[in-house]
Structure 1
Amino acid sequence: MEKNTSPAKSGIIYGVLFGVIMVLEFTVMYVIGMKSLVNTMFGTIVNIANYLILPILFIYIGCNNYKKNINNGFVSFIECLKIGVSITFIAALIYAAFSVVFNLIFPEFVDEMVAITREGMLKSNPNLTSEQIESGLAMMKKFTNPFIVFPVTLAMYSFIGLFYSLIVGVIVRNENPQSI
């Protein structure tokens, strides 16, 4: 990459990789069966990977790449924030787009998830009334709407990226003394 590459642009490749990994995880989980995700160790591991390990890993790699290969060993705190948010935003964009297209191609997926959720709700709390169950499932169905899924996914992952970038930025920053 050129020396004048912006921090956000330098994170594009890592955002694409992160997004593709999340799409592949989802695809594998769908093939295996979505029941394997509900209240299982496998589901917990996937969530920890997608919301903790992978974002931090890709933000760290992106910031270090910018620091070592593009900016002569320097990266500011603000540049780390730009890199981290761009990585998670691009990953979320890919994942949200995939999710919307997937739900349009396989509309029965939402019904399957509703059935799994209902089963899980009854299993974890058998005292729930049918009104409470239906209320919870109605809320879940609202969040499968593409007009809600897309912006919520983008906002959520951007916030996650901002938060983790704050942490990674404190660790990897190396301010250029000439720019101060």
Structure 2
Amino acid sequence: MIKKTSPAKSGLLLGFLFGLIMVLEFVIMYVIGMKSLVNSSAGLIVNSANYLILPLLFIFLGCNNYKNNINNGNITLSECLKVGISITFVASIIYAAFNVIFNIVFPDFVNEMIEISKEAMISKTPNLTVEQLEAGMTMIKKFMNPFIVFPVTLAMYSFFGLIYSLIIGAFVKTKNLNSNI
């Protein structure tokens, strides 16, 4: 009996690589200085890469790898979903765990990000009232809590993985010649 690799298992390595890339981006941005990158094109590029370009790329690579190297040139939409969600879920676990550990090791980072966010809010909407500013700061502080960051990151990247896998699956799926459907 031939042992077949599951679609979800086939995406683990790519998910690990995606997670490592996001961690490296974060470390580089931290070393360069987050404050200088918040309202710059570099920050926009990194966000676009993490939420759009890299997930699409890794899901596409994962689906094509499963299709061509594991499943004899066939892949269904459901297999694309399993590959894509596993890639983004593994990446999000790595990134969220790193983020929580980083915030524990460097507690001043959270305060620095809150201050950067406050300055950005004031510069973008200078007519904010004190109450509106405090409400915004309270919300930001809540979302920097590790017990919130971790599950929200997992859910968000898994949701993006679902959407992107549906899109990519529509293009790379093949009709299974062995089924009656």
Counterpart for residue 166 of structure 2? 166
Alpha carbon RMSD of aligned pairs, Å?
1.0
Question: 1:59-109 CA deviation, whole Å, 9 max, x = no partner?
Answer: 000000001100011111100000000000000000000000000000000
Superposed displacement of residue 122, structure 1: 1.1
SS of the residue 1:4 aligns to: coil
Structure 2-normalised TM-score?
Answer: 0.96
Counterpart for residue 19 of structure 1? 19
Give 4+ residue runs of structure 1 displaced > 4 Å after superposition. none
CA distance in 2, matches of 1:55, 1:34: 23
Counterpart for residue 177 of structure 2? 177
How many residues are aligned here? 179
Q: Where do 5+ consecutive residues of structure 1 fail to align?
A: none
Pairwise mapping of residues 1-180 of structure 1 onto structure 2 (< 5 A)? 4-180=4-180
Superposed displacement of residue 3, structure 1: 5.5
Superposed displacement of residue 37, structure 1: 2.6
What amino acid is aligned across from residue 58 of structure 2 in structure 1? F
Q: Where do 5+ consecutive residues of structure 2 fail to align?
A: none
CA distance in 2, matches of 1:179, 1:94: 38
CA distance in 2, matches of 1:57, 1:81: 14
Question: 1:36-76 CA deviation, whole Å, 9 max, x = no partner?
Answer: 33221111111110000000000000000001100011111
CA distance in 2, matches of 1:78, 1:96: 26
Question: What's the % identity of the aligned pairs?
Answer: 66
